[in-house]
Structure 1
Amino acid sequence: MKRLPIGVENFKTMIDKDFYYVDKTSFIQDVLNEEVILYTRPRRFGKTLNMSMLYYFFSIKEKEHADLFHGLSIMSNPKALTYQNRYPVIFLTLKDMKNNTFEKQLKMFSKIIVNIIEAFPELWNSDKLSSASLKTIEMYHEGAQEEIDLQVSLQFIAQCLMQHYGKKVIIIIDEYDVPLQNAYLNGYYDDMVNFLRNVFSTALKTNDALEKGVLTGCLRIAKESTPQAGFSLFTGLNNFKVNSIFDEVSRQRFGFTQSEIDLLLQAYHAEEYKAVVKEWYDGYEFGGCDVYNPWSVLMYMDRLLNSSRKMPESFWANTSGNDIIYRYVKEANPLMREEFDVLASGDMIEKPIKDDLTYREMDQINNVYSFLLYTGYLKVVSCVNEEEKRYRLMIPNKEIKRVYVSIFREWFDEQVKNNGATFVEALKQKDISGATELLNTVLFQSISYFDYDEKFYHGLLLGMMSEYQVVSNQESGLGRSDITLLPISRLSRGVLLELKVAKREEDLQKLAEQACKQIIDMKYIEGLERKGYKDIIGYGIAFYKKSCVIAAVLD
C-alpha cells in the first residue's frame, strides 16, 4: 500500500518515493495553451505540487528524470511530449516571504535569487556570457540587496539562461501574493506593490527571453495598484490571463474530484467513510466542478489508517490563515455579524462578488465576501444576476463551518470576559437597567449555532464572573442556587443569581420574577446569611435566545 503524501510538494519526491499520486499531469497541456497566466485557488489545494510538476516536465536540466512521467496521463499526448525537458526553467516560490518589514522582505527575496543562481552553476563561468554579465551573476550569488538590482534579477537571469542554452525561458512563480498580504498586515504595502510590480514587469513583460510565465496565488489581483503607481500590478503584460475558481478550463487540476476520491477510498479500503469525507471536505466549486480539499482529505485518510480515532476534524484550520476571519468577526458591523451568523447556521446569503481585489480593499464590507470566496471560506451555490455578478453563497462543508464557529466562539468568549467587571459592578450597585442592557448586548453578539439552553447561559455568566470568587449550584437554604458571587469579606456585598430559560420571548419578565420568588421560597439568601455574609443581593434572570430580563429580589 502506497504511503499518503502528507505535505509532499515536490513532484520528484512524490514519484521517486512511490507516494499515492492523484494524476494531474493533464494540467501541462492547459499551460501549453497559455503565454502568461495566473492560477488562483485557495491554499492547500495543490498549487505548489503542480508547479513542481511543471518544472520537472519542462526543465532542460531534468532530462535524466523524464521517466518521472512514465504511466501518467500526459504520456498519451504526443504534442505535449515535444515540449518535455526543452526549456531552461526558473522556479521560485514566495510563500516564505512573511516578514514584518520591507527591508527583511528584500533580504528574503535576495536569498531566493541566490538559490536560483545556485541552481544554475553552468552560468558562473559560461563562455556564452560577457564578463559584465559574469560579474553581475557573481553579485547576485553573493546576495545583492539593493532594491533596484533585485527588481531586475529575474529578467537578468532569464536573459543569461537564454544566451547560455539558446532557448527562451519559462518562469514559474508560486504563491505570488503572500508578500502582498504580509505587507498589508504589517504596514509597508505600497513599497511591496511597487517592488513586485517592477519585478513582474521586467520578468514577464519587457523580457525577450521569456517563453512562458506561470503564477499561482489565492487572490485574483489583476488591478493591484497604489496611489503612487496608478496602474495594475500586471499592467501591460501581453497575453496575460487569470484562471480563477469561476473558469471551466483547468477546473479539475487543483483539488480532488469525486472520481479521484472514490479511487482513493478504494485504494485504502475506506469506502465506508465516503459520506463522512464528503460531508466534511467536499463542497468547493471550481468552474462548475465539485472539488474536495486535498490536504484535509489526505490528513483524514492518514488518521483512518494510523489511528484508533476515526472522527473527522478541521485539519485545514490548523494550516494558518484563519486570523483574517477572526479579524473580520472582531471588526464586523452588526449586519455583517448577523450574516456570519446566518452562514454558521448553514444558510445562504446573497452578495456581489468582485473579480479583482487589492488587499487594501479587503476590509471594505462589500469586498469581504469576495475575499472569503477566493480564499476557500465560502462557495458559490448559484448565480442570481450574472451582469451584476451577484451570487448565493454558503459555507462549503463541515470543516469550514467548524472554523467559523471556533473563531466566533473565541471572539465571543473575549467579549464575555471583557464585559464581566462592568456587569458585576452594575449588579452590585443595583443598576438593573445597566446590567440588563450590557447582558443583552453580549447576548446579541452570540451566534444562533450555540445551544441556547440553561447550560449555555450558566457558562456565559460564569465567564463574565471569572475574575471573582464564584460558586455554582452550591447548597444554600432549602436547595441549590445557580450562581453565587461571594465577597472576599463577609461584610462586603455579594450577588446571588437564579436562571430561567423561556420558551417564548413574551414570558421573560414573568420567568425572571419566578426566579426571584424561588430565591425567596428556597431561602437561598438566608442560608448565606447563616454563614456570616451580611450583604447579599438576589437577582432572577430569564433568557430567550439572544434576549434577557433581570429582576431583583425585593428587600
Structure 2
Amino acid sequence: MIRKKLPIGIQTFREIREEGYYYVDKSGHAVRLANEGKYYFLSRPRRFGKSLFLDTLKNLFEGQQELFKGLAAETCWDWSRKSPVIFISFAEGVVHSREALNAKITEQLDVNQEVLGLHTTQPLLSARFSELIRLTRAKYGLRVVVLVDEYDKPMLDNITNPDIASEMRDGLRDLYSVIKGQDANVQFAMLTGVSKFSKVNLFSGLNNLTDITLDERYSDICGYTDADVDTVFAPELPGLDRELIREWYNGYNWLGTSVYNPFGLLQLFDTRKFKPHWFETGTPDFLIQLLQKRQQFTPDLSRMVASETLLSTFDVNTIPVEALMFQAGYLTIDSVGQMPGRLTLTLKYPNLEVQASLNNCLLHSLTGSLSVPESHQDRLYDLLKNQDFAGLKNLFHAFYASIANDWYRKNELSGYEGYYVSIFYSYFAALGLHIQLEDPTNFGCIDMTVLFHGQVFLFEFKVVKGRSRGGALKQIKERNYAQKYQHRGEPIHLIGVEFSKTTRNIVRFEVETMQVL
C-alpha cells in the first residue's frame, strides 16, 4: 500500500487524514515506470520499502482510485484502465532445498489462481506459470502485470552453501524465464530484491530487464527524503535532535537524492531512542566471515572504489566484497568519477548507525570475543572526552593483551599487516565518532583524524617487527599535518601509535598537544 501504517504509539499526522497513517507519496514514480517502460528490476537493501512500492504498483494497475486520493497519481492516471495482476512474493519464510522452493512457488501460484478465479492443469511449475498468464489474458481480455517481490531471497538464504544456492538459482531461472516467453501477454513486469545476480546465471531467460537500481531519477523510489522528514513527519521532530537524526539514519544514495531507511526512522519516532534499529533486524554473519577470510583492512571499508558494473551484479560462487556490502546496505555511494562509458564509484558508510554497528561486529570478529570490546568502549569514550592519554594508552594496551593466544593460533587474521590498525580504527568507529581516514593535506595523508568534543585528534600508525623508533609521531610533526586544522581554534592532539607483531601489542604511544593560539 502507499499509505505507511504507523507503529503503535505514534501520534497521527493530520486529523483530516485516516487515523494512524502518514502519507509519503511514491505514486509519481509508479506512474512514470508504468508509462515509460515494460520490464524493470530494482535492488534495495532489506526493510527499505520494496514490498510497499510493489503494492503501490499493484493498486495502481488494478485501478484502486480511492487509495490515491490527494496523491500524485490521482490526476495523471487513467482510472478506467484496470489490469489483472499476478503478484509473487518470496519475502516470507526460508527455504533450504529445491523441494521446499518448489512448494513455495506452488503456494504462490495457488494464491494467484484463487484471486484471479482460474484453474491451471500443467504439472511443471514453469508451464503452470505460463498457463496462468495465458488464462488471465484470455479471461480479462487485457495483458497481465507481473510483480515479483524479493525475487532473490531463496538464494540469499543459502548464500553460505553455494551448492544449495545454485539449486535455488536454477529453479528461479526456470520461473522467471516464463515472463519473457509470455511477452505478448504481459504489459508490465517488475522484480525487486536485495542483490543483482548475473544475467548469465539467473536472467538469461529475462535479459531485457531495465535495471533502475543506479538510475538517479529513482534514487528515492524507496525510503524517506529530508523533505519528507521535515514535512510529513514534522509532528515527530520535537524533542529529537534534528541533525543527529540526519547523521544517524540518512545517507543512502543511488546516484540521486539521499534517503533514510524507513524502518529505522519509524522505530526512532516510536521509541524516541537513537539505536541501530535497522541493523539489529539482521546480523551480517556471512559478511563478517567473508571480510575475515579475505583479511579485509577494515579502515578501507569506508573508502572503497568500485565500478558501476561490479556493484550491480554477483553470482553465488563469486561475491565481490564491494558488491555484497553495497547491495546489502552496509555501504552506499559517496562520489562518482566518470570516463567515457564507465562510472567509478567511491563508497562510504551511509550513516552513523551502520558505521557504529558494523564496526562493533567487526571488533568481535577481530578479537574472537563478544565481551572484551564491549567492556572497553564506554571507557574509551570518557578517556577521549577528558583527553586522558595515559588512560587511553593503558586501555588499548590492556585490550590487545586480553586477546587470547588460542585465538591467534587458530586464525590467520593476525598475520596480516593491517590487523592491529583495524582493531584500533574499529574501536573508534564503533563509538559513532566522526572519522576521516587518509585525511589529505599539502604534505601527505593523515592516517586517521577524529573530531570530537571540541578537540582534534590526529593519529599516525606504524607496525614494526623489531624495536620502536618513534617514527609515527615524528612523521606527524615533520609533515606539519596539524596545519590543516589550526583554523578551527581547537586543541590539536598529535598521536603516534606503533604496534609490534612480535609482542602483539602497542610498543609506543606518544602524544603532543598543540594549544589554541
Q: CA deviation at 1:280?
A: 0.6
Change over 3 Å in CA distance of 1:165–1:265 after alignment to 2 = closer
1:147-169 Cα offsets, whole Å, 9 max, x none, are xx112232211211111111111
- Out of 210, 215, 226, the position equivalent to 1:241 is 210
Secondary structure of the structure 1 residue equivalent to 2:27 = coil
Determine helix, strand or coil for the equivalent of 2:191. Answer: strand
CA contact (8 A) 1:255 1:294 kept: yes
In the TM superposition, what whole-angstrom CA distance separates every residue of 1:75-106 from its partner, at most 9, and x where no partner exists? Answer: 121xx23465x111111211236322221121
Q: CA–CA distance in 2 between the matches of 1:215 and 1:180? A: 15
CA distance in 1, matches of 2:20, 2:89: 24
User: In the aligned structure 2, how far is the partner of 1:74 from the partner of 1:420?
Assistant: 61
Give 2:278's aligned residue.
316
Deviations 1:162-214 (A, max 9, x none): 11111111111011111222344332233322222221111333343212111
1:350 to 279, 299, 305: 305
Structure exhibiting the larger radius of gyration computed from Cα positions? 1
Q: Which residue of the other structure, out of 257, 262, 267, is the alignment partner of 1:294? A: 262
Q: Work out whether 1:259 is the aligned partner of 2:227.
A: yes
Name 1:69's counterpart in structure 2: 68
Conservation of the 8 A alpha-carbon contact between 2:198 and 2:315: no
Q: Whole-Å Cα distance in 2 between the matches of residues 548 and 207 of structure 1?
A: 62
Structure 2 distance, partners of 1:36, 1:51, is 13
Q: Which of 295, 299, 307 is matched with 1:341 structurally?
A: 299
Conserved in 2, the CA contact under 8 Å of 1:36 and 1:241?
Answer: yes
CA contact (8 A) 1:25 1:74 kept: yes
Residue 220 of structure 1: how far off its partner (Å): 2.6
Task: Give the residue type in structure 1 aligned to 2:151.
Answer: Y
Q: Are the equivalent residues in 1 in contact too, given 2:24–2:228 (CA < 8 A)?
A: yes
Check conservation: 2:29, 2:218, Cα contact below 8 A.
yes
Give the aligned partner of residue 449 of structure 2: none
2:425 pairs with one of 448, 453, 469: 448
Question: Counterpart of 2:325?
Answer: 372
Determine the structure 1 residue equivalent to 2:56.
53
Tell me: CA distance 1:278–1:91, structure 2 relative to 1, closer, same or farther (3 Å): same
SS at match of 1:406: helix
Residue number in structure 1 paired with 2:25: 23
State the partner residue of 2:218: 250
Residues 81 and 510 (structure 1), Cα distance of their counterparts in 2 relative to 1, 3 Å cut: closer
Q: Secondary structure at the match of 2:210?
A: strand
CA distance in 2, matches of 1:183, 1:421: 33
Name the CA shift for 1:117/1:276 in 2 (closer, same or farther; >3 Å).
same
Tell which deviates more after alignment, 405-414 or 293-302. Answer: 405-414
Report the alpha carbon displacement of residue 445 of structure 1 after superposing the two structures with TM: 5.8
CA deviation profile, 1:354-395 (whole Å, cap 9, x unmatched)? 1542332543xxx21122122221122222344453222211
**Equivalent-residue separation in structure 2 for 1:81 and 1:401 (angstroms):** 45
Is this contact kept in 2: 1:97–1:179, CA < 8 A? no
* 1:287-310 CA-partner distances (Å, limit 9, x unpaired): 321211111111111112xxxxx3
Query: CA separation of 1:362/1:160 partners in 2, compared to 1, >3 Å: closer, same or farther?
Result: same
Structure 1 pair 271–204 and aligned structure 2 pair: CA distance change class (3 A):
farther
Structure 2 distance, partners of 1:263, 1:398, is 23
Gap change, CA 1:108 and 1:385, over 3 Å in 2: same
Check 1:150–1:50 CA distance in 2 against 1; reply closer, same or farther (3 A cut). same
Distance apart, 1:72 and its partner CA: 1.4
Please tell me whether the aligned partners of residues 180 and 206 of structure 2 are also in contact (alpha carbons under 8 angstroms). Answer: no
Q: For residues 486-540 of structure 1, give each alpha carbon's deviation from its aligned partner in whole angstroms, at most 9, with x where no partner exists.
A: xxxxxxxxxxxxxxxxx9989x9699xxxxxxxxxxxxxxxxxxxxxxxxxxxxx
Deviation at 1:37? 0.8
Opposite residue 299 of structure 2, the aligned amino acid is D
For residues 476-495 of structure 1, the aligned pairs below 5 Å read: none
Residue 256 of structure 1, CA deviation? 0.9
Paired residues of 2:264 and 2:276 also in contact (CA < 8 A):
yes
- After TM superposition, the score normalised by the length of structure 2 is 0.68
- Map 1:462-541 → 2, pairs under 5 A: none
1:270 pairs with one of 219, 233, 238: 238
The equivalent of 2:453 in structure 1 is: none
SS at match of 1:208: helix
* Matching residue of 1:360: 316
Q: How far apart are the structure 1 equivalents of 2:321 and 2:259? A: 23
Distance 2:254 2:316 in 1: 26
Let me know the Cα RMSD of the aligned residues: 3.7
The equivalences for 1:179-190 within 5 A come to 179-186=154-161, 187-190=163-166
Q: CA deviation at 1:323?
A: 2.3
Match in the other structure for 2:191: 215
Per the alignment, residue 81 of structure 1 pairs with 78
Aligned partner letter, 1:163: A
Q: Report if the CA contact (8 A) 1:224-1:357 is conserved.
A: no
* Corresponding letter in the other structure for 1:34: G
Q: Tell me the TM-score normalised to structure 1 length.
A: 0.64
Contact 1:285 1:380 in 2 (8 A): yes
SS at match of 1:450: helix
Q: Secondary structure at the match of 1:324?
A: helix
Query: How far apart, in 2, do the equivalents of 1:510 and 1:281 lie?
Result: 42
Distance 1:326 1:438, change over 3 A: closer
Does residue 194 in structure 1 map to residue 170 in structure 2?
Answer: yes
Shift of 1:279: 0.4
Give the whole-Å Cα distance in 2 for the aligned partners of 1:444 and 1:258: 35
Amino acid at match of 1:111: E
CA contact (8 A) 1:180 1:359 kept: no
Indicate conservation of the 8 Å contact 1:265/1:274, yes or no.
Answer: no
Identify the residue that residue 403 of structure 1 maps to in structure 2. 357
Task: Tell me what 2:452 maps to.
Answer: none
The residue aligned with 2:345 is 391
The AA in structure 1 aligned to 2:330 is Y
Amino acid in structure 2 at the alignment position of 1:410: H
Give how far 1:18 is off.
4.1
Looking at structure 2, the residues matched to 175 and 423 of structure 1 have their Cα atoms a distance apart, in angstroms, of 38
Q: Deviations over 1:531-554 (max 9, x none)?
A: xxxxxxxxxxxx955437659xxx
Deviation at 1:319, TM superposition (A): 2.0
Residues 452-484 of structure 1 show CA distances to partners (whole Å, capped at 9, x for unaligned) of 9xxxxxxxxxxxxxxxxxxxxxxxxxxxxxxxx
Change (3 A) 1:448 1:53: same
- Aligned partners of 2:125 and 2:326: how far apart in 1? 33
Residue deviations 1:411-430 (CA, integer Å, cap 9, x gap): 123279997354899xxxxx
CA contact (8 A) 1:329 1:411 kept: no
Q: Which residue of 2 aligns with 1:434?
A: none
* Secondary structure at 1:87 match in 2: coil
Q: Which residue of 2 aligns with 1:203?
A: 179
Counterpart of 2:25 in 1: which secondary structure? coil
Match of 2:139 in 1: 164
